[in-house]
Each structure stands twice: as structure tokens, then as C-alpha cells.
Amino acid sequence: MSLHRRTLLALPLAAAAAGGAAAQSVTGESFAAAERAILAGRTPVAEGVTIAMPPLSENGNAVDLSVKVESPMTAEDHVSAIHILSELNPFPRVAHFALSPRAGRAEVTTRIRLATTQSIVVLAETSTGRVHRGTREVIVILGACVDGG
Amino acid sequence: MAENILARITLPEQARKGEVVTVRVIVRHPMERAVDAPGLRPVPRKILHTLRVTYAGAEVFRMEMSPGIAANPYVEFTTVAVESGAMVFEWQEDGGTVYRREARLEVE
């Protein structure tokens, strides 16, 4: 039995990582797994997505969220899907919008629930196969989940 | 086709052909998300999980919702005015109920 000092020091880190994963397992899908599944091996470009959200929300029960994606919205090049992902909500996939060139603009607004202070990630898939990614940090004073998410 | 749902759909009465119009939709619904916490009796999840909008023969917008969408779900989107006609909004609720509303857009 030879547990090296280095291995022992890494143990609490591994335990913390496992605990974080358990907190996300309400749907059996973690935030990272949800993002990986949507990307399906593609590398997102970190531009073209504008997220409008209040930087600080006193109440996480209904937070305004607007997403705008730069796109010509033509038959050849348009945004076909917008995914809203939450880093620390019990359900990482908050909403998914399916758009077509008939939308005219790639802009959606809705109101979401936030469990706690976290980052919101938006992935926009285009008909050309590119994926745009945007992220926005939000501070939540009182979360939407009674059990703290 | 249940009808007892309160929805408010806002869009311009008229638009020019090719104009991009903004549509705002709010619907009264608790979006029950099955909170399970000490001291609470668990309630089964009952949310509106999909909103489909069809206009001039095609689906122009679809939103898939999770329990992460606030109660009384609100959404704002755009569509290109192509012809005069009905815009049909269809919400699907957990349990299979479908709610349907229509709004008319005049295109000149």
C-alpha cells in the first residue's frame, strides 16, 4: 500500500468534483454533458451572440433574458436553433428555440428561473454548421429553488 | 382541445409584405416544476413544455421549455410578414393537453 503524498493531497479535490456532479444529477445530465451533447464535436466561436440580462437579480423566480444572434437569416445562412443553458440550475437545459429564415431576425426574449448566482450560456446553431457561443454572469440574491438548487 | 387557458398575444394588426414583425406572447400557467424539499408535499411536474407557432403554411417558431422557465411563460420572437392570415399558437402541457389560440395578421 503506497499512497503518495501527492495522491493524498488531490483527494479532497476529487471529492469536491464528485459532489458538484451529484448536485446536478436531478435530470441525470450535467451542464457540461448538455453542452457537449449540443455541440456534438463542433467547436463554438465565441462571437455573434448578445445576451441581455440584468447583472443582478434580487429574485431568481423570473429573470428577463434576451438573446440576439448576428445572422443574415437567409435560406443558406440562418440560425436554426438557440439553446439556453444554465450552469447551476437543477436542469441545465433551460430552453431551446427552433428558428427558420422566416423569423427574419435571430432574436428571442423570455423569462427564466435562476437557482443561484451563476453563468448563463447560449449556443446558437446555424444552417452552415457553425455554432456561436455567448455567456453572461448573473448575480442572484434569492434563488428560485427553495432547497437552494 | 382544452380551452381554459388565458393567453395574451400581441402583434401589429397590419404589416407590409416582407416586414419583420415582433410577436409577444404571455400565457397564464403555474409551470409546476415538481419541487421536492423538506416540509413540502411533492407535486408532479406540470409545465407547458412546447410552444409551436405556425403561420402561412409552415412552422415559423418553436420553443421547448423546461422547469427553468418562469411561471406565466413569456416569449418574444420575430417573423416575416408573408401573407394575410392566421398565426396559430399551440402549447403542449405535460399530460398531453394541447391549448390553441389564433391571432390574425393583415399584410398589404
CATH number for position A62: 2.60.40.2470
User: Would residue A56 count as lying in a domain?
Assistant: yes
Of the candidates B73, B31, B76, B68, the one whose C-alpha atom is nearest the C-alpha of residue A60 is B68
For the purposes of burial, counting CB atoms within 10 Å of the CB of B4, is it exposed (0-12), middle (13-18) or buried (19 or more)? exposed
Provide the residue range defining the domain that includes B71.
7-33+44-107
SS3 at position A103: helix
User: Would residue A127 count as lying in a domain?
Assistant: yes
pLDDT band at B35; cut points 50, 70, 90: confident
Least confident of A20-29, A45-54, B58-67: A20-29
**Roughly how many angstroms between the first and final C-alpha of chain A, as a whole number?**
40
User: Would residue B39 count as lying in a domain?
Assistant: no
pLDDT band at A98; cut points 50, 70, 90: very high
Q: Do B70 and A113 touch (CB under 8 A)?
A: yes
Q: Which of A66, A89, A102 lies closest to B68 in CB terms? A: A89
Residue B96 Ramachandran class (φ > 0 left, ψ -120 to 50 alpha, else beta): left
For chain B, positions 1-40, list CB contacts with chain A under 8 A: 20-21, 33, 35-38, 40
Residue-level pLDDT at A24: 43
User: Would residue A72 count as lying in a domain?
Assistant: yes
pLDDT over threshold 60, residue A14 = no
Q: Does A136 touch chain B (CB under 8 A)?
A: no
CA distance A52 to A138: 11
- Domains: count for chain A: 1
For chain A, positions 37-66, list CB contacts with chain B under 8 A: 61-63, 66
User: Would residue A88 count as lying in a domain?
Assistant: yes
ipTM over 0.90? The verdict is yes
User: Would residue B38 count as lying in a domain?
Assistant: no
Q: Which residues of chain A are within 8 Å of residue B37 when distances are taken between CB atoms?
A: 145-147
User: Would residue A73 count as lying in a domain?
Assistant: yes
For the purposes of burial, counting CB atoms within 10 Å of the CB of A30, is it exposed (0-12), middle (13-18) or buried (19 or more)? middle
Provide the residue range defining the domain that includes A133.
5-142
User: Would residue B62 count as lying in a domain?
Assistant: yes
CA distance A89 to A26: 10
User: Would residue B1 count as lying in a domain?
Assistant: no
pTM value?
A: 0.86
User: Would residue A149 count as lying in a domain?
Assistant: no
The mean pLDDT of chain A is: 86
SS3 at position A138: strand
A-interface mutation test, from B24, B26, B78, most A Cβ less than 10 A away: B78
- Domains: count for chain B: 1
Q: Do A91 and B68 touch (CB under 8 A)?
A: yes
Residue-level pLDDT at B3: 63
User: Would residue B89 count as lying in a domain?
Assistant: yes
Q: Do A104 and B20 touch (CB under 8 A)?
A: yes
B-interface mutation test, from A73, A110, A118, most B Cβ less than 10 A away: A110
pLDDT over threshold 90, residue A147 = no
User: Would residue B15 count as lying in a domain?
Assistant: yes
CATH code of the domain in which B27 resides: 2.60.40.10
Residue-level pLDDT at A19: 40
Q: Do A103 and B60 touch (CB under 8 A)?
A: yes
